[in-house]
Structure 1
């Protein structure tokens, strides 16, 4: 990752929800650890009452949504730095590849690394890797996100 310009991690749930367009109960990120223009490190501890938890595990759609919201948090912090008053809205435009290796249990601390590969107008091509607190790879993805302008 290029130089982290985040002075200190953002761990406050209210502050996180100010940086993303998603709102409870559909928030799948709870921390921003590192930020650079082209990369970021985000986190999420899976709560038992999360709407994408099934049978005590974070579902595959939950893991994918967490990766997409990690990108959203990156974009939201960039918007904050640029002086935007509210986060831009976006969505997953396409998923080139995704591999979910493990469905993590409730209480697992996820760490996701996003790397922006290319940006063309409002389309961002991004790779993401999600790990648990032991460094086990949970999932990887290569997707395009689209920002609504």
Structure 2
């Protein structure tokens, strides 16, 4: 959507610039000196300028909307998490197994179990360490 928005406002600026700077709505006045404005060409120039302005505004709105959508986009859900390289790095600091029991960790972070998996929010994890690590990251992001 961002690329489409950029393309739209660039084309809009080009169309408006063409209508304003290069489009000639006048015609030769046969037998008279100089040129006279042709109403049909003036109308065409106005339509090109309005189309360019509309494309420009729509492109700016699309571009801004895509930036807003990216900012509001939630993290990708992880349905089932197997052991990952990140888990081994986080595990020693994220879960102190000897200090806190599993039940206390789950209560502390709002993690429940369902069908043999650990559930935090809308996400499911096979390992408690992964669920706790994500819960801590979510808490830090707030």
* Shorter-chain TM-score tier: under 0.3
Q: Which has the higher strand share?
A: 1
Q: TM-score, normalised by structure 2?
A: 0.24
Q: TM-score, normalised by structure 1?
A: 0.23
